[in-house]
């Protein structure tokens, strides 16, 4: 299907995979145990950059067609079962996707779970998997890659993004303006970076606040512009009658 899947889809998919590699298999991963700001960049890559780019690549059909025929047939039959379709519809719906994204975001930024992820490699992998999966559910409804369909009208993604940005800004403000170190693990490390753990925390908050908000506001502006410039059904009917 070369007309449907062009070079831009390939570039977006490869860039999304590269973002995951940058987050998990580069010096950034090692720095995240020492610097909160590095950890925050890692989280942004997994929760914003990678899932958005992967969905822009519209990978569902190519990945499905790449499976062996017997596997494709089994998956296709399973997806036609009423129970599977019903559960899938609920779990991948906009409300559940938004709630899962926000719950994972706040839960893993609580001091107890955050420090647990820093102490344990296994829990750190679980944290990253939670971020990537819930972010994938969240951004799918915003980007709506072919052949996806949403039960909500496109304008409903505007409050969907606004509310997500507000909760992101709330946590960013806590990190930026707190007068104490929220994550004890960083305060207990020998410091060798030229600024204090509290300053590192404030920088991490700004990283979450500014680039994080931009990631929500850019698709928000695109949706608003699309809604404003889209021809109205009533105007189309009037124009067709006049013609």
Task: Give tens-digit pLDDT for 86-122.
Answer: 777 777 889 999 999 999 999 999 999 999 998 899 9
First to last CA, the chain: 36
Q: Taking Cα atoms as reference points, which of 157, 164, 129 lies closest to residue 50?
A: 129
Ordered alpha helix ranges (H), 45-154: 50-56, 60-65, 69-80, 82-91, 94-107, 111-119, 121-143
pLDDT band at 238 (very low <50, low <70, confident <90, very high): very low
For residues 99 and 129, give the distance between their C-alpha atoms in angstroms, rounded to a whole number: 16
Dist. CA 221–CA 135, nearest whole Å:
20
Domain boundaries, the chain: 7-242
Predicted local confidence at residue 218, as pLDDT? 93
pLDDT of 143-185, one tens digit each?
988 877 778 888 899 999 999 999 999 999 999 999 999 998 8
For residue 156, what are the CA distances in angstroms to 165, 222, 234?
15, 13, 20
Q: How many CB atoms lie within 10 A of CB 133?
A: 15
């Amino acid at each position: 299907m070369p007309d449907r899947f062009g070079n831009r889809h390939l570039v977006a998919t490869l860039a999304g995979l590269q973002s995951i590699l940058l987050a998990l298999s580069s010096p950034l991963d090692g720095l995240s145990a020492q610097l909160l700001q590095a950890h925050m960049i890692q989280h942004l890559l997994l929760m914003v950059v990678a899932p958005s780019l992967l969905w822009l690549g519209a990978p569902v059909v190519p990945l499905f067609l790449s499976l062996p025929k017997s596997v494709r047939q089994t998956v296709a039959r399973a997806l036609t079962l009423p129970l599977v379709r019903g559960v899938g519809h609920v779990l991948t719906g906009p409300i559940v996707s938004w709630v899962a994204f926000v719950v994972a975001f706040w839960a893993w930024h609580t001091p107890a779970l955050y420090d647990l992820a820093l102490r344990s490699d296994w829990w750190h992998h679980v944290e990253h998997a939670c971020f990537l999966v819930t972010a994938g559910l969240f951004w799918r409804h915003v980007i709506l890659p072919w052949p996806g369909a949403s039960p909500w009208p496109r304008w409903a993604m505007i409050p969907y993004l606004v509310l997500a940005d507000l909760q992101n800004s709330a946590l960013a403000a806590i990190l930026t303006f707190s007068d104490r170190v929220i994550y004890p693990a960083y305060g207990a490390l020998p410091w060798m970076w030229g600024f204090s753990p509290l300053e590192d925390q404030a920088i991490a908050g700004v990283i979450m606040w500014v680039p994080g908000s931009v990631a929500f506001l850019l698709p928000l502006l695109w949706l608003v512009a699309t809604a404003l410039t889209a021809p109205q059904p009533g105007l189309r009917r009037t124009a067709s009658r006049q013609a």
